[in-house]
């Protein structure tokens, strides 16, 4: 790829979405017929893949085929970057979803389907869509006709394909790493449950003794989550404003735990006590609202209240991570049962959550299995963030012709 000046490249043109794409194309799907349904929650922020679908009877909604782009047009889904490329259908299959999707399809000899997906996540396109939103603050939505008539810079079809190929290759690598991490996570959880909950582990059969949790291997003991790890609650970071526009830490709230750092992320002082600073690979646990345990992967940030940073000087990271996840479903039930506005758990729930602690010899054996898997998981996350940053940096430059794919320089 080579650099290009800010002038419009030869063969490119300013045109409308209406001219180069079929928007909300007509499709036939009979009422009551079962088809694949893609819910809005199945679209992840700025992630090409649809996470899941279900078979439902068609009762209305937007219809689409493989190769179409689903673009959320309603607040807050549009601001959150909910957009996806459809690839979960068979060749002649029609799927359906929310009426709050705008469906974008390529026009023969004018546009490339994957190029249109990347076009739809372009900051310039999304900013224009957000400015065109109408309605109340809680239910604002883009008027499709208005968006279709806006002017945008569009590459000629051969270069569209080349641009889409570059960006797709990055997304393919990202998706491969995400799939690897799903496998690593599932494998580690399965082994952990077999060894530390069901006590089916390699080696000689151990004598079992009575405990608060029933029979456990001799030499092992029962403890609690609060005894194997430190659960540090975050700060009310509005009390710690940033020093300047350039010296600050992004504030990690529950939203950032799932969606990462964004333009909407608050900022806090960069001079916080070190223990409240979060680094990649740290274990975070949101104990209020949406209870989630995850491994942080979005760079250095500041720990906000309603989040625990989980650490230990006595036990390996994988051990307290998997034990916290083992109790997560119970914590979620507790929070839901007591929810009036926003459910949560309390410190005593960590004291009450019992765990089984092996003897030092077995812990060392297990460490040789779990630590490499966890390190691979964290390293994959790092690669995902590097590739995502590269893709997001290249995207606007390729779409404006500031960076050109080799072979298309004027």
Q: What percent of the chain has pLDDT over 90?
A: 83
**Beta-strand relationship, 101-106 and 95-97:** unpaired
Distance CA 69, CA 269 (A): 40
For residue 3, pLDDT beyond 80: no
Please indicate, yes or no, whether residues 153 and 228 belong to a single structural domain of this protein.
no
- Looking at the structure, do residues 124 and 251 belong to the same domain, yes or no? no
Would you state the structure tokens that stand for residue 299, as one six-digit string? 């760079």
pLDDT band at 280 (very low <50, low <70, confident <90, very high): very high
Is residue 388 one of the residues assigned to a domain?
no
Which CATH number covers residue 145? 3.90.220.20
Listed residues 122, 157, 192: the one ending a domain: 157
Whether 392 is covered by a domain: the verdict is: no
Share of the chain above pLDDT 70, in %: 97
Its pTM stands at 0.89
Single residue among 138, 157, 176 that ends a domain in this structure:
157
Per-residue tokens: 61 = 């909604």
In terms of domains, do 15 and 145 share one? yes
Judgement on whether residues 153 and 234 belong to the same structural domain of the protein: no
Confidence (pLDDT) at 4 = 42
Residue 83 has φ and ψ, to the nearest 5°, of: -150, 145
The verdict on 252 and 133 lying in the same domain is no
Do the beta carbons of residue 120 and residue 104 sit within 8 Å? yes
Query: Across residues 98-108, what is the average pLDDT?
Result: 96
Indicate whether 173 belongs to any domain.
no
Mean pLDDT for all residues in the chain:
93
Measured distance CA(52)–CA(39) in Å, rounded: 8
Together in a domain, 86 and 225: no
Q: Does residue 23 sit in the same domain as residue 104?
A: yes
Report whether 225 contacts 312 (CB < 8 A): no
The CA distance from 37 to 40, in Å, is: 10
Instruction: Tell me which of 331 and 409 has the higher pLDDT.
Output: 331
Q: What is the pLDDT of residues 216-269, one digit of tens each?
A: 999 999 999 999 999 999 999 999 999 999 999 999 999 898 888 887 899 999
Count of CB atoms situated within 10 Å of the CB of 293 = 21
Peptide bond into 37 cis (omega under 30): no
Pairing, β 267-268 against β 307-311: unpaired
Token representation of residue 42: 């199945």
Range of the domain at 317: 221-357
Q: What is the pLDDT of residues 22-34, one digit of tens each?
A: 999 999 999 999 9
Torsion sign (Cα): 133, 136, 137, 139: negative
106 in a domain, yes or no? yes
Distance of CA 264 to the CA centre of its chain: 16
Hey, how many other C-beta atoms are within 10 angstroms of the C-beta on 347? 11
User: What are 151's strand-pairing partners?
Assistant: 16
Residue 174: which residues within 8 A CB-CB, separation 6 or more?
A: 384, 387, 388, 391
> Confidence class of residue 5 from pLDDT cuts 50, 70 and 90?
very low
Q: pLDDT grade, residue 342 (50/70/90)? A: low
pLDDT(290) > 70: yes
Asked if residue 310 has a cis previous peptide bond (ω within 30° of 0), the answer is no
Mean pLDDT score, 41-54: 88
Q: What is the predicted pLDDT for the residue at 6?
A: 55
Residue 140: name the closest of 75, 71, 72, 80 by CA. 75
Cβ pair 278, 295 in contact under 8 A: no
Q: Which of 77-86, 110-119, 349-358 has the lowest mean pLDDT?
A: 77-86
Query: Please, are residues 82 and 51 in contact by the beta-carbon 8 Å criterion?
Result: no
Neighbours of 340 (CB within 10 A): 5
Residue range 147-159: mean pLDDT, rounded: 95
Whether 193 maps to a domain, the answer reads: no
Specify whether the CB–CB gap between 266 and 385 falls below 8 A. Answer: no
Q: How far is CA 265 from CA 123, 273, 278, 289, in A?
A: 17, 20, 15, 18
Asked if residue 125 lies in contact with residue 23, where contact means CB atoms within 8 angstroms, the answer is no
Number of domains making up the chain: 2
**Cα 212 from chain centre:** 38
Q: How confident is the model at residue 137, as a pLDDT?
A: 65
Same domain, 39 and 151: yes
Last residue of one domain, picked from the residues 321, 337, 357: 357
Q: Do residues 135 and 16 share a domain?
A: yes
Q: Has residue 306 been placed in a domain?
A: yes
Tokens of 357: 């602690």
29 shares its domain with 143: yes
Per-residue pLDDT at 81 exceeds 70:
yes
Mean pLDDT of 142-161: 95
Within-domain flag for 15: yes
CB 110 within 8 A of CB 140: no
How far out from the chain centre does Cα 248 lie?
24
- 144 & 234 share domain: no
């Amino acid at each position: 790829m080579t650099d290009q000046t800010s002038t419009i490249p030869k063969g490119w043109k300013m045109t409308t979405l209406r001219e180069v794409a079929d928007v909300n194309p007509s499709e036939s799907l009979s009422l009551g017929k079962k088809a694949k349904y893609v819910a809005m929650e199945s679209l992840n922020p700025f992630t090409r893949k649809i996470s899941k679908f279900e078979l439902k009877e068609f009762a209305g909604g937007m219809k689409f085929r493989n190769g179409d782009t689903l673009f959320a047009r309603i607040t807050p889904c549009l601001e959150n970057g909910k957009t996806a490329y459809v690839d979960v259908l068979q060749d002649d299959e029609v799927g359906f979803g929310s009426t709050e999707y705008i469906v974008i399809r390529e026009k023969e000899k004018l546009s490339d389907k994957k190029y249109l997906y990347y076009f739809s996540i372009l900051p310039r396109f999304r900013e224009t869509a957000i400015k065109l939103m109408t309605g109340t603050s809680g239910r604002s939505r883009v008027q499709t006709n208005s968006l279709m008539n806006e002017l945008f810079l569009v590459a000629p079809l051969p270069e569209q394909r080349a641009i889409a190929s570059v960006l797709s290759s990055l997304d393919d690598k990202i998706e491969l790493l995400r799939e690897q991490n799903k496998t690593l996570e599932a494998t580690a959880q399965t082994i952990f449950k077999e060894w530390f909950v069901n006590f089916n582990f390699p080696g000689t059969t151990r004598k079992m003794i009575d405990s608060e949790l029933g029979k456990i291997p001799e030499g092992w003991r029962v403890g609690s989550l609060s005894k194997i790890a430190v659960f540090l609650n975050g700060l009310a970071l509005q009390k710690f404003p940033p020093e300047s526009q350039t010296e600050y830490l992004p504030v990690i709230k529950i939203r950032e735990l799932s969606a990462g750092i964004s333009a909407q992320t608050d900022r806090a002082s960069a001079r916080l006590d070190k223990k409240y600073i979060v680094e990649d690979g740290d274990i975070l646990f949101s104990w209020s609202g949406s209870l989630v345990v995850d491994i942080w992967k979005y760079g250095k940030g500041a720990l906000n209240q309603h989040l625990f940073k989980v650490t230990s000087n006595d036990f390996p990271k994988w051990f307290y991570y998997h034990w916290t996840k083992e109790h997560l479903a119970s914590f979620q039930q507790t929070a839901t049962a007591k929810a009036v506005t926003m459910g949560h758990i309390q410190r005593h729930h960590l004291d009450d959550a019992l765990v089984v602690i092996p003897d030092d010899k077995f812990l060392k054996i297990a460490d040789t299995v779990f630590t490499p898997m966890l390190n691979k998981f964290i390293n994959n996350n790092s690669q995902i963030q590097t590739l995502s940053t590269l893709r997001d940096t290249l995207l606007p430059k390729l779409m404006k012709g500031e960076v050109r794919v080799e072979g298309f320089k004027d």
